[in-house]
Structures are given as C-alpha cells and as structure tokens.
Structure 1
C-alpha cells in the first residue's frame, strides 16, 4: 500500500489511448496538429490567450519558464522549501546560467508579499548585488497548502509594482484547483507563466508550460531546443495533455487524490503538521510508530526525525486509504 509519491502512480488509461491514436505519421517536433492545438485548448480553459509548450519534466518546465524572465545576473525570489531550491539538483542555476535563488520564509511553504519584501527591500540597486527579476510560487505548496486566489493576486500586484516576472510551479495545480473549488483561471491568477503539471496527476511524460505573456513563449522555444527538450515526436506529449484536458480528466483525477488524502487526514487529528489542502499529508510519528506502519504494509517517506509524508494519487484505492486512516488512528 504505497503512499510514497504521486509520481509513482500508474498512467491513466485515457492517455495510453491518446498516444496510440497519435501513432500516425505527422510533422516532427512541435509542428504537428496535436501540438498546434494546445494553445486553443489552454486559452479556453484559462479564459485568456495562452501559448503552450510541452516538456517532459516538471524541472524543465519550471526552469525554462524562469529562464525567459531572469538574466544570469538576476535572481528568483522563492520559498526556502520550494522545489526549485530543494529538489531540482541545481537545475535552475544551470538553465538560468548562474542566476541566484533568493530565499524567503513563509508558513506552510507559502510566500506572502511581506515575506517577499523582506528579501528584496534590503537589496541595493547597484551592480554589486544580485537584483530580483522574478517571483516563483508553488500551487499547491511543498507542504500541500493552496494559495487562495486573492493571495496570488496580492503577490502579482507586488510583482507588477517592482517590475518582476511571476511564475507558478503547478506540479500539483490540479489538486489545488480541486481543493479550492474555483476555476483554473482563478487558481492561476495573473501569473506570467504556469508550469501545469500532469505527470503527478495521471500523466506519463508530459508537462505544459503555459505562457500568459505569450511573448515569453517565443524565447522559450529556442531555450527548449538548446536544452535538449524539443522532442522529435512531440505529438505524443501533446496527446497526453489533450487527453488530460478532455472532460476535465485532470480535475477528476485531482479530486480523487484529494479525497483519499482527506480520508487519511480524518484520523490524524493533532498529528497533522499542516492543514491538508491537496494530496499530501505531513504526520507526526515517532520512529517506532513509523516502523509499525511499515510492518503493516504501508510505504511512505520519513520527514525528518519525527514525521512522515504520505502522498495520495489519482488511483489510490479507497480500501488502502481507509486502512491507513485506521492504522494511524490506532497508533
């Protein structure tokens, strides 16, 4: 009974069907009709003009998006626990040619305008200090907290006032939308670029960089090729994204994952380190208690010395979620 990561989940059958349907001769790279249709699909979803590039990984999506906003001598304001800081192996520095991550604090791995100002206000406007060029937030955050639409708007207003780009890492964007009960447009807010994640939500190997500032996409196309991410048979990646958008499969999958997380959370009580607002749970457990859970057949990651992280997915079985909920309740 695995709760290690939603990356470990199986691929939704609809995506296999879509890739088989795409298995016909077509133009290479992103010149095929399936790739060309992504702009229209995302523009309809978000209610404004978008330019969409597919890539194979979330790391590439984040870094290629930020590379369009940040010069090598600049910096990206992000949370200290952000994925681009903690879990991307230095990729931002590689893709951004040495640009710096400027780390901010915030409860639940979320940024606020105040936290951002605390980082950027002390920076002198001279060549001796790294200047901020962009802000990056994660929706939902690394601790499973979802930004409310008004919180995103507040950060966007600060970004506009300071002339900064605004990027959203949406590896679990679907889970945030499902929790918030709002539209995709409201959850994304007025960002310049969104890394719209599908791999954690039932996809196989396709993420979408959605550029709301469409001029940035023209830059990203060259950077994607240079970085080795322009796949010669891109229609298979595009087909996955279309399949996830069909009938709002991305949202149905996210709702299923969130429901499983809520079932487990119902038994955690004061053990929960953070409110469950997506599909991740951070639960206080001693080493002995974690051994007990593993002996019962549950797979998960330790989170420091006194906690565990459990992640549900689109295909988490109801009986597995109920079993984990009961096991935690019995500790």
Structure 2
C-alpha cells in the first residue's frame, strides 16, 4: 500500500513463468538463442519490420545506448529539465557519450516544437556544441502524455532542422494504454526508442529499439560497450516474450493507469489538495497541506520542501489497495 514508485511492485506471474520456462536446459549464449530471437521478432511485430533491438537490464543503460547511437562528444541534446536522462541518471548519458544535455523548463514535462526550433537555431559551431538530438519521455516524468499529433509535430520540427528524436519509453506501455494506441504509435516519429519492461511487470528488462537503419548499424558494438550484452540473454528476452506476445503489456498498463485515476479522485476530494498536473498515466502529483504531508511520509515519494508528492500505482495495484489507502488519506486529513 505504499505508492512511492511502480518499481516497488513485484514481478507479474506470467513473467516469472516465462523465466522458469527459459531455464529448461542449455541454450547458446549472448543472445544467439530461440528465446531472444522470439523477443526480437515481437519487437518487429510491434514497431515494424525495420526495427532492430538490443536488450538491457536497466532503463539508464537503455538510454545511454540509445543516445550513444545518436551523439558525438561535440553534440548537444535537448530535453526537459524534469527528464530522467537529465535529473535521475547521475550524468550517465553525458559521461558515456561526451555530449551535453541541454535541459529547459516546461509547464508539464512536455517539450514544444518552438523549443525544439529554438534549440536547433542556438548553436554557434565550432565554439558551441552542435545541436544534434531531442530526447523526450513518453509519458513524461510527471506522467503526462504527448498525443500522437504532438509527437509528430515534435518529430517533424526536429527532422526539419536536422535533429534526431529519442523517446525515453520507460513507461511507454502506460502512454499507449492512455492513448488507446499501439506501442509504435505512442512513439510516433522517433528515430530510437528506449522501451521499458521493468515498470510494466518484468523483473529487469529494458530495450533499445532502433527505427533508423543507419543508427542501428553499430548497435552490437554499443551494446557490448555499455556492458549490456548478457551471456544468458534468454532470461532478459523471456520477460519481453511474456509481455509482448499477447496483451499483457496493455493489461498491466491499463490497470496501473486506472488505479492512479481512482487514487487521484480521492485526493482531489480532500481539503487543501491540488493536483499539480492532469493524471493521464500511473503517476499522481499532489500538493498537500503540511500536516497531511507529514502524516503521509513514506506512502509517496516526497521531494524536499513543499514540492508536490508523487504517488504511483503499478500493474498489481488493486481496487482494495486504493480503498485502504483512501482510509489512510482521510485519517491524515482529520488529525
């Protein structure tokens, strides 16, 4: 009943079953096995036959590989100041690419075409880094979602100015569920996508999906340099087989989104509570009065000062969990 992060959730039983099934006997190492081949085929089914994929075990690693395929050390990439690549990855993208992350403030975590155009026009080579790419999160770190039309506008502006588009899709399944689209449509216009399975019910499974043949060409070398070429790759692959071979990815995401909406409804009905941004996926950001904020410490993710508290639901959050937490919330507001 603690909602600090969807990372706190366990592993979906179907994913555990897939791991057990993959553990039957020996298989060729480093991804040269039938389970990994099946996972690659599933990514093609979702993102198109031209899609090429490498697997990783963390979202940060997936983002580093994706950005390394785009950037040179003299480049710059535009992102929101709330972006995970900027605020939560300990400078890993900058360390491993040598490039600069240029972060700009946004109203709700979403970049605009105007910001992209301004970034593209802002370089003064060779004295300043070359504007090279745009990195957006779908959904954003605030849980907000770009519509397909907004994605295409961002991508169109980026490509018009010679920039590439990276989509950090750690929770892309939640965005697709919110939009009612497939996974590819939820990342429309992207050149490379970091796709997250861990937050969608996997144990440790993220991926980089290359949608541009030129960017995909060195993927195996980048994969190895990033220390993500696992000898027993079938176990990472098996998790994606479980999520992507049917509708499990969508079912899990829809449950997380639905229960977040229910939680937001309870919070919005409490005195003095203000939702910081619209609740579109599985994140709820709420400004809480001081006494209630203190009483709820540990139930959500608390930032220093008076910043909104983040509550996140997961694939396994139940209606009963929300009901019980509603009791906790009401108690916190009546002390």
Q: TM-score, length-normalised on structure 2?
A: 0.93
Task: Name the Cα RMSD after superposition.
Answer: 1.6
**Superposition misfits of 4+ residues, deviation over 3 angstroms:** 325-330
Which residue is 1:302 aligned to? 302
Q: CA deviation at 1:48?
A: 4.3
SS of structure 2 residue aligned to 1:101: strand
The aligned runs of 1:199-218 (5 Å cut-off) are 199-218=198-217
Shift of 1:183: 2.1
5+ residue gaps, structure 2, are none
* Superposed displacement of residue 321, structure 1: 1.1
Q: Is the 8 A contact 1:286 1:305 kept in 2?
A: no
Question: Contact 1:38/1:52 (CA < 8 Å) preserved in 2?
Answer: no
The yes-or-no answer on 1:119 pairing with 2:119 is: yes
Please name the residue that 2:294 is paired with: 291
In the TM superposition, residue 20 of structure 1 has moved relative to its aligned partner by 1.3
What's 1:273 paired with? 276
Q: CA deviation digits over 1:60-91, x for unaligned, max 9?
A: 10110110110011011111111000000110
TM-score (norm 1): 0.94
Q: Shift of the alpha carbon at 1:324? A: 2.6
Give the deviation of 1:116 after TM superposition: 1.9
Confirm or deny: 8 A CA contact 1:282 1:303 kept in the other structure. Answer: no
**Matched pairs, number:** 326
- Write the mapping of 1:24-39 to structure 2, written as runs, cut at 5 A: 24-39=25-40
For the residues of structure 1 that align with 2:221 and 2:5, how far apart are their CA atoms?
Answer: 32
Contact 1:53 / 1:217 at 8 angstroms: preserved in 2? Answer: no
| 2:119–2:131 CA contact under 8 A, matched in 1 | no
SS in 2 for 1:301: coil
Q: Secondary structure at the match of 1:37?
A: helix
In structure 1, the partner of 2:71 is 70
- 1:209-265 deviation line (CA, Å, top 9, x unaligned): 111113323312101212221110001000111111122211100111111101111
Shift of 1:308: 1.1
Report the alpha carbon displacement of residue 329 of structure 1 after superposing the two structures with TM: 5.4
Q: 2:261 aligned with 1:254, yes or no?
A: no
- State the distance in 2 between where 1:302 and 1:130 align: 35
Secondary structure of the residue aligned to 2:217 is helix
Aligned residues of 2:116 and 2:158 also touching (Cα < 8 A)? no
